[in-house]
A and B are shown apart, each in its own frame.
Chain A
Amino acid sequence: MSSRSNRIDRLTHLQQLEADSIQIFREAIAESENPVMLYSVGKDSAVMLHLAKKAFFPSVPPFPLLHVDTTWKFKAMYEFRDRMVAESQMELIVHQNPDALLRGINPFDHGSATHTDVWKTEGLKQALGKHGFDLAFGGARRDEERSRAKERVFSIRSAQHRWDPKSQRPELWHLYNARVQPGESVRVFPLSNWTELDVWQYIYRESIPIVPLYFAAKRPVVERDGALIMVDDDRMPREPGEITERSVRFRTLGCYPLTGAIESTASTLPEIIQEMLLTTSSERQGRVIDHDSTGSMEKKKQEGYF
């Protein structure tokens, strides 16, 4: 392999963020017995997977990917997921909460809160318990929400998967304490110090593949409570003639009935970043769960939501 001649004297912010995230990945796998990476198919997961590959190169990352599925993701997400997994040579574990499957939990009949709680929060706990994972990487960032600003990089969860904001461990220098009692587990957030803009810039710089839904295209949508919801399959109840074709894209991806699209013509990465920088509302506004009440994310975290 030829060496790049590259005398540099300082790192750019993206290089520094990348190097620190790689350090976190390596530290986590060295200190755990049975790690796993949560893969939710979104852009943050894409960046995490990219960083994991870099951290362990030339080895394949020494852990499987876990997708806690709700059966309600966009079709394009499932296709993208399977393609990425095949390329990564990593093992993929898909977990669908059998109880939710049996009860037919869905956002239309049960509401967004129950849907998210049963499929995602409960499903995640089941999957971690079933496989005995003692450490799970997640793509959460501190800039996403006010209560996340205090989240540790290595966050300890009780045997009941609860997060206790009062008993989190101080993190100094690059030293992370991943020691746990039997039954406890650690959630590790390698993207803690990244902002949404950092993530997009990095995707651009590194040409990281992302789900096409992030780019604007003509898509069939209906309006629900002021949000534009894409009709991804026939499970979506609708009035005849209600569907319109509009040029839309998504800033964040989840279950299609709960993810609002924005009208946009941004069809390239630079256009997306440009639009984001000129826009006036935050990324999480498109997610329905944040609107419940002030501090709702914090409550969800205490209950075990990622």
Chain B
Amino acid sequence: MAHVANELLEQDIEAYLTQHENKSMLRFITCGSVDDGKSTLIGRLLYDSKLVFDDHLSALISDSKRIGTQGGDLDFALLVDGLAAEREQGITIDVAYRFFSTEQRKFIVADTPGHEQYTRNMVTGASTAELAVILIDARKGVLTQTRRHSYLVSLLGIRHVVLAINKLDLVDYSEEVFDGIVADYQSFAEGIGISSFTAIPISALGGDNISERSLHTPWYKGPTLIEHLENVDVDDERSRGPFRFPVQWVNRPDLDFRGYAGQIAGGRIQVGGAVRIVPSGAESTITRIVTADGDLSEAITGQSVTLCLADAIDISRGDLIADAQAPPSVADQFECHLIWMAEEEMLPGRPYVLKIGGRTVAATVSQPKYEVNVNSLVHQASKTLGLNSIGVCNLSLDQPIPFDPYVENRETGGFILVDRFTNATVAAGLLHFGLRRADNVHWQAVEVDKVRRSEMNNQRPAVIWFTGLSGSGKSTIANTVEQRLFDLGHRTYLLDGDNIRHGLNHDLGFTDADRVENVRRVAEVAKLMVDAGLIVLCSFISPFRAERQLARELVGEGEFVEVFVDVSLEVAEQRDHKGLYAKARRGELDNFTGIDSPYEEPENPDVHLHTSGSLTIEAAADEVLGHLYQSGILSDPR
């Protein structure tokens, strides 16, 4: 703003403000690495749009001399590199948002690093962008990273691509070089779904074709970068598509008013419009479109409004109000793209929290059908997904949700996965389509049910789950408990880790993913046995909280008893009945719990047995039985 020379601004501020109130907004992402001059380009955009204040500029001048890479000339990259740690390392490590504005538009730039390991950041930045500027170093042409960036841009549904061919000054502003790169890019862009793009020859450092037409490129007849950004029409399919309104909050100030608050995620709506509520399927019409500035007769995509309906229908947060003629699909199983964003790798079968629109549900993910190598775009087999990897998986939810395919609507087709314990956002997902499988497997309704079987057996069925390190004494204690229950006349079954691995789970190894699947299968078997009316004793190391939680949730309230057989690693290792610790220490056994694989201790076990000291097996069994009486699973012996 330091150098604004605008007559209207100086002479008629009110007219100037009116003009600026009608500006539109464009969100775009820049893709490229430090070497491509990306930070320099953004710094240049801010500088050219006069958004650099004098105090920032003087800091820039002194920084440029001190740590600049341009031999004392202004290093625009220093304007945008944010956190202190990054400034010292000379790289950007996260998504930063920058703002600048011209006479016609306000711009929000998602600035994301181009390094291979930061797919996560680029996907995050791209999710809200309507346009992508892909930077290419004219000396290097289309590189592997160009393909990676373009693939991600296309995957995230950005339909407007600018190919900014930078550092043209270093190739003598050659038209031939420019044309060569454009032809190269064209040949692969279509294959990944980028049907059109705008190529602009620039030099961010020299300011060529950024805001002003370069005298060095008389052969180039297209717009400057700023001109293109100001004029490109980014009205997307979403706003022309069917009406979509995820309910965020039910507004109920008094008995006379009930409105549904949300932001329109697709299409438009008028008073009198017919809508369907999904997933319930109820239909109604819009009676009012309420805003604090007065009611509207019509509202469009992007507006935050409160809708009132003609009928009293039970609607809550997470429901979708949609065009009655073109409602979204509803499903509980999907195929989707998953972009993994956590250090801890994906575990197929583990339940995660899924958030889409205002709705939060439990979700489990299948093993990937394939993983996409973002550099070669080759599909490769994979058992899991690690940080920054992208794969196609099936998704299974605990309840049906309304959705649109991501390619039709980002807001109703994009979701995140959240870890249930750390609450970290671990993945972003793009829904493809619902799977019909769920519809075709109907539950067989049975006359004889769990209650009747348990009456017949004269016992309350339950799972008694023993968890602890190898050598803690789980199996010995479980055996003794079963013997005592049997003696009391109860019907029991013991599922033991080693035995199950010989049969049902003989195909599984000891990686984290296999351990999750091991416990999942056992939990499902235990559930069936509880349904059969049995008291099921399970003896498994079961090192992860999440899977023990899964096992607990599969059965009913009060039907799960977690017994933590707690032994110190030293004692377990001394005992080492099976010689496994010694093997693991010699490096002959990988992924051994306690040695090179983690054990997550239960936080609130129902029974906590300390077996390092003098606790006898009989006393341990007493404690477990004591709990079973106390919790009412066994009734008091008279």
Chain A residues near B (Cβ < 8 Å): 1-20, 22-23, 26-27, 29-30, 53-60, 142-143, 146-147, 149-150, 165, 167-175, 177, 179-181, 192-193, 195, 197-198, 201, 204-205, 270-271, 273-274, 276-282, 285, 294-295, 298
Closest chain-B Cβ to A109's Cβ sits at a distance in Å of: 29
Contact with A along B136-158 (1 / 0, CB 8 A): 00000000000000000000000
Pick the 6 closest A-B CB pairs, nearest first: A295-B84, A13-B25, A57-B292, A22-B304, A172-B127, A280-B54
- Most interface-central of A7, A58, A180 (chain B CB within 10 A): A58
Q: Are B295 and A11 neighbours in the complex by a CB distance under 8 Å?
A: no
28 A/B residue pairs, CB under 8 Å, sorted by A:
A1-B288, A3-B295, A3-B296, A4-B294, A4-B296, A6-B296, A10-B24, A10-B235, A12-B23, A26-B248, A30-B249, A58-B257, A58-B290, A142-B97, A146-B82, A150-B95, A165-B83, A168-B94, A170-B121, A172-B414, A177-B425, A179-B418, A198-B106, A270-B13, A281-B53, A282-B55, A285-B55, A298-B84
Contact with A along B397-434 (1 / 0, CB 8 A): 00000000000001100111010000111001000000
Pick the contact of A280: B53, B95, B290 (CB < 8 A).
Answer: B53
Report if B329 contacts A (CB, 8 A).
no
Q: Are A179 and B353 neighbours in the complex by a CB distance under 8 Å?
A: yes
Q: Are B428 and A172 neighbours in the complex by a CB distance under 8 Å?
A: yes
Q: Are B24 and A150 neighbours in the complex by a CB distance under 8 Å?
A: no
Pick the contact of B298: A6, A13, A147, A280 (CB < 8 A).
Answer: A6
A60 surroundings in chain B (CB, below 8 A): 253
Residue of B nearest to A145 (CB): B82
Q: Are A170 and B21 neighbours in the complex by a CB distance under 8 Å?
A: no
Chain B residues near A (Cβ < 8 Å): 1-2, 4, 6, 9-10, 13-14, 16-17, 20-25, 53-56, 80-85, 87, 94-99, 101, 105-106, 108, 111, 120-121, 123-124, 127-128, 235, 248-249, 251-253, 257, 259, 261-263, 265, 271, 288-298, 300, 302-304, 306, 317, 341, 353, 355-356, 358, 410-411, 414-416, 418, 423-425, 428
Cα distance, A298 to B415, chains bound together (Å): 31
A180 surroundings in chain B (CB, below 8 A): 423
Cα distance, A16 to B108, chains bound together (Å): 12
Pick the contact of A59: B23, B82, B251, B418 (CB < 8 A).
Answer: B251
**Contact A177-B416, Cβ < 8 Å, known A278-B9, A279-B1:** yes
B54 surroundings in chain A (CB, below 8 A): 280-281
Closest chain-A Cβ to B296's Cβ sits at a distance in Å of: 6
**Contact A22-B263, Cβ < 8 Å, known A4-B295, A13-B23, A14-B21:** yes
B21 surroundings in chain A (CB, below 8 A): 12, 14, 201, 205
Q: Are A276 and B1 neighbours in the complex by a CB distance under 8 Å?
A: yes
B4 surroundings in chain A (CB, below 8 A): 277-278
Cα distance, A202 to B509, chains bound together (Å): 61
Residue of B nearest to A8 (CB): B300
Cα distance, A14 to B17, chains bound together (Å): 12
Cα distance, A53 to B293, chains bound together (Å): 11
Residue of A nearest to B413 (CB): A173
Pick the contact of A281: B55, B124, B353, B423 (CB < 8 A).
Answer: B55
Main SS of the interface on chain B?
mixed
**Contact A143-B425, Cβ < 8 Å, known A22-B304, A58-B257:** no
Cα distance, A43 to B252, chains bound together (Å): 30
B105 surroundings in chain A (CB, below 8 A): 13
Residue of B nearest to A149 (CB): B96
Cα distance, A274 to B124, chains bound together (Å): 36
- Most interface-central of A5, A9, A13, A30 (chain B CB within 10 A): A13
Q: Are B249 and A172 neighbours in the complex by a CB distance under 8 Å?
A: no
Q: Are A9 and B300 neighbours in the complex by a CB distance under 8 Å?
A: yes
Q: Are A149 and B97 neighbours in the complex by a CB distance under 8 Å?
A: yes
Cα distance, A9 to B293, chains bound together (Å): 18
Cα distance, A14 to B411, chains bound together (Å): 21
A276 surroundings in chain B (CB, below 8 A): 1
Pick the contact of A277: B1, B97, B106, B265 (CB < 8 A).
Answer: B1
**Contact A271-B13, Cβ < 8 Å, known A54-B292, A146-B82, A165-B83:** yes
B6 surroundings in chain A (CB, below 8 A): 277
A27 surroundings in chain B (CB, below 8 A): 248, 358
Q: Are B425 and A173 neighbours in the complex by a CB distance under 8 Å?
A: no
Q: Are A29 and B249 neighbours in the complex by a CB distance under 8 Å?
A: yes
Cα distance, A147 to B303, chains bound together (Å): 30
Q: Are B17 and A201 neighbours in the complex by a CB distance under 8 Å?
A: yes
Q: Are A294 and B84 neighbours in the complex by a CB distance under 8 Å?
A: yes
B106 surroundings in chain A (CB, below 8 A): 13, 195, 198
A174 surroundings in chain B (CB, below 8 A): 263, 265, 411
Q: Are B83 and A150 neighbours in the complex by a CB distance under 8 Å?
A: yes
Pick the contact of B424: A9, A56, A169 (CB < 8 A).
Answer: A169
**Contact A150-B82, Cβ < 8 Å, known A30-B249, A173-B414, A280-B2:** yes
Pick the contact of A5: B25, B297, B424 (CB < 8 A).
Answer: B297
Residue of A nearest to B421 (CB): A181
Q: Are B84 and A142 neighbours in the complex by a CB distance under 8 Å?
A: no
B111 surroundings in chain A (CB, below 8 A): 149
Residue of B nearest to A194 (CB): B99
Q: Are B9 and A274 neighbours in the complex by a CB distance under 8 Å?
A: yes
- Most interface-central of B53, B98, B428 (chain A CB within 10 A): B53
Kindly list 19 other residue pairs between chains A and B, CB separation below 8 angstroms, not including A11-B300, A150-B82, A177-B355.
A1-B294, A3-B296, A12-B21, A12-B22, A13-B23, A18-B304, A19-B302, A170-B120, A170-B428, A172-B124, A175-B415, A195-B101, A205-B21, A270-B17, A271-B13, A274-B9, A277-B4, A281-B55, A298-B84
Cα distance, A11 to B22, chains bound together (Å): 9
Q: Are B253 and A173 neighbours in the complex by a CB distance under 8 Å?
A: no
Q: Are B24 and A58 neighbours in the complex by a CB distance under 8 Å?
A: no
Residue of B nearest to A282 (CB): B53
Residue of B nearest to A142 (CB): B97
Q: Are B262 and A26 neighbours in the complex by a CB distance under 8 Å?
A: yes
- Most interface-central of B82, B120, B298 (chain A CB within 10 A): B82
Q: Are B9 and A277 neighbours in the complex by a CB distance under 8 Å?
A: yes
Q: Are B253 and A58 neighbours in the complex by a CB distance under 8 Å?
A: yes
Residue of B nearest to A60 (CB): B253
B98 surroundings in chain A (CB, below 8 A): 149
B292 surroundings in chain A (CB, below 8 A): 53-54, 57
A55 surroundings in chain B (CB, below 8 A): 261, 304
B293 surroundings in chain A (CB, below 8 A): 54
B423 surroundings in chain A (CB, below 8 A): 177, 179-181
Q: Are B108 and A193 neighbours in the complex by a CB distance under 8 Å?
A: yes
B296 surroundings in chain A (CB, below 8 A): 3-4, 6
